[in-house]
Structure 1
Amino acid sequence: MSEHQNNNGDKRQRLHLLPKRIILIRHGESQGNLNTAAYTTTPDHKIPLTELGITQARDCGSHLKSLISANITSSDYRLYFYVSPYERTRSTLREIGRSFSKKHIIGVREECRVREQDFGNFQVSERMKVIKETRAKFGRFYYRFPEGESAADVFDRVSGFFESLWRDIELNRLKSDPSQELNLVIVSHGLTSRVFLMKWFKWTVEQFELLNNLGNCGFRIMELGDGGEYSLAIHHTEEEMLEWGLSPAMIADQKWRIHAKKGDWNENCSWYYDEFFDHLTDSEEEEEKRKHDTECYNADSTFESLSS
């Protein structure tokens, strides 16, 4: 067998190990969502779900099961969970889990790097109001909360999580069976989920600033396309993505990813090359023509000067 055939075989094997879906879920309604005064007496990581939040999580589990099990038998899918260590995310996962039998869940891991953005310790309501007004002026991505984090800080730790996630997938630490659809579910927080998508799809800071937060128990489904790339456009509609704050160019990129081969470069991604080099010519021939025209113009100018 040639080295080329071996490489193709390795690529096919890696594609088989990739999760069918990567699903980001925000926690259910918490006491902090209901009343921000909760943060003045309770540490953020201990804020519990409300009764509505528990119901939302159970409904989310039922919806998730219907989505995953559609058109396949119950023995043909599995789930692996990563969960933020905060009380509200852990409780959300417990309620989601009620919809599945143990045979469907091949693993769960508490992952500190997908925790909520750190807003500081106990939060004084009036002070936080002023701080959030300042953040709106400064920009959500770079503004760092006093004693806390910026979204850029969250981006850095999510980037570290990516490295671990890919190692888990490539080394098959998730114990994925190629004959079963693997669904990787990350139960986390609103901003963390947006940062995750930003990192994955290489969105810019400007694009991040336009994204809307997920609702409680809202989710984003990244589904594997036929070429090995993940896309939001397989499960979600264009209308949904517009509501989330994706621009038409970002949506076009998601549609391109449905059939793109892993490692391909989307030449139509205007926020990369064209953002910085839109003034450059498209080819060496055009560059040569520009030089020729410039030289002709200079020669004509010189001739006119000498003639006069």
Structure 2
Amino acid sequence: MQRKEKREDMVATLPKRIILMRHGESQGNLDTAAYTTTPDHSIQLTAQGIAQARHAGEELRRVIGGEGCSPDWRVQFYVSPYARTRSTLREVGRCFSKKRLIGVREESRIREQDFGNFQVEERMKAVKETRERFGRFFYRFPEGESAADVFDRISSFFESLWRDIEMNRLRHDPSNDLNFIIVSHGLTSRIFLMKWFKWTVDQFEPLNNFGNCEFRIMQLGTGGEYSLAVHHTEQEMLEWGLSPEMIADQKWRATACRGDWNDKCPWYLDAFFDHLPDSDDDAVENEGETNSLSEKRFQQNEEWKIKDNRIDQLEYDFSNFYGDEKNCKLAFKMEFSNK
């Protein structure tokens, strides 16, 4: 009973939504040559990007303040320090009144993947082609980062995020809805989802990038687990690159109790094992087959050892009899060609 009450108290302090949002269209999205003369962190939004951010702000306002919201709902922003994300936040913020905002925290750990200082356009094309062959998660850009490096700093950011929640550093009244909006970058947001939902590298690789000012809403389900399936449709998740197994897990999370284990989505095992027996009896049967195969291999090895020892002995006998190495090899060859 105490455990249940503790879990309910914990759920009451959690944000109702954690929203991941990519910045609006930037000069670099429009023309990659911009990266050859302008540092990545200084790339600005285009006029289209500003309009996208304002429209996204209106959409977020409708989602957060729509039907079923608490009367005194609030928003906490986290933003990457890059110019394009800060500008996106500025336009999104126009759609919220001051009383709705708890605050904004600039967070360097949710910045863009570092592609390596000034980027020579032709060189970057070749580098990105190499990344596709090598693998998007582990490939490290020259003078830059890999997605695995981004994963490490996102993991550190998670710890800070949870401390903010558990220690109520935002001074939030649990009776009202709290919403986190994280204004970041495409790959960083995908890595965030990967870390949160414990997706494997193989599950991460096929994920499609966010569009400019596109957002994903992780919303608390009825049991206290976050899920993409509370707000988003199955078709949307398919378009993002989630596999059917990943989507099934999101649907399960929408109603699962916090801390429960999903044993109906076995992909977390199938990703690591070729075959797992369904019962202990099957396991014993498989063990017998494995032992039988091992015995056969052992017998074969013993037979080869006997043959090898016989050949070594014959070589020794021939060398003693013929003396000369050349005559020995010739006689040895003739001996075995007749067998």
The correspondence of residues 93-132 of structure 1 with structure 2, limited to 5 A, is 93-132=89-128
The residue that corresponds to 2:32 in the other structure is 36
Cα displacement (A) at 1:281: 2.3
Is the partner of 2:75 in helix, strand or coil?
Answer: strand
For structure 2, which runs of at least 5 residues remain unmatched after alignment? Answer: 292-339
Q: What one-letter code is carried by the residue in structure 2 that aligns with 1:177?
A: D
1:235 maps onto 2:244 in alignment: no
Partner of 2:83: 87
Partner of 1:301: none
- 183, 186, 195: which one aligns with 2:179: 183
- Give the corresponding residue for 2:47: 51
Q: Which of 11, 18, 24 is equivalent to 2:20?
A: 24
Cα distance in 1, alignment partners of residues 14 and 31 from structure 2? 40
Q: How has the CA–CA distance of structure 1 residues 106 and 280 changed in structure 2, closer, same or farther, with 3 Å as cutoff?
A: same
Query: Residues 269-298 of structure 1: CA distance to partner in whole angstroms, max 9, x if unpaired?
Result: 333223334523233344456679999xxx
Provide the secondary structure at the position in 2 that maps to 1:24: strand
The 2-side partners of 1:169 and 1:139 are apart by: 35
Residue 159 of structure 2 corresponds to which residue in structure 1? Answer: 163
**Pairs within 5 Å for 1:1-308:** 4-5=1-2, 7-72=3-68, 75-277=71-273, 279-287=275-283
**Cα offset for 1:72?**
4.2
- Cα contact 1:204–1:271 (8 A) shared by 2: no
Rounded Cα–Cα distance in structure 1 between residues aligned with 2:177 and 2:21: 19
Q: Is the 8 A contact 1:117 1:149 kept in 2?
A: yes
SS in 2 for 1:221: strand
Quote the Cα distance in structure 1 between the aligned partners of 2:99 and 2:8. 26
For structure 1, list consecutive stretches of 5 or more residues without a partner in the other structure.
Answer: 296-308
Partner of 1:75: helix, strand, or coil? coil
Which secondary structure does the structure 2 equivalent of 1:191 belong to? helix
Measured in 2, the distance between the counterparts of 1:140 and 1:293 equals 40
Which structure has the greater CA radius of gyration?
Answer: 2
TM-score, structure 1 normalization = 0.90
Give distance in 2, aligned partners of 1:290 and 1:190: 46
CA distance 1:287–1:132, shift in 2 (3 Å): closer
Distance 2:287 2:142 in 1: 55
Instruction: Answer whether contact 1:31 1:48 (CA < 8 A) is retained.
Output: yes
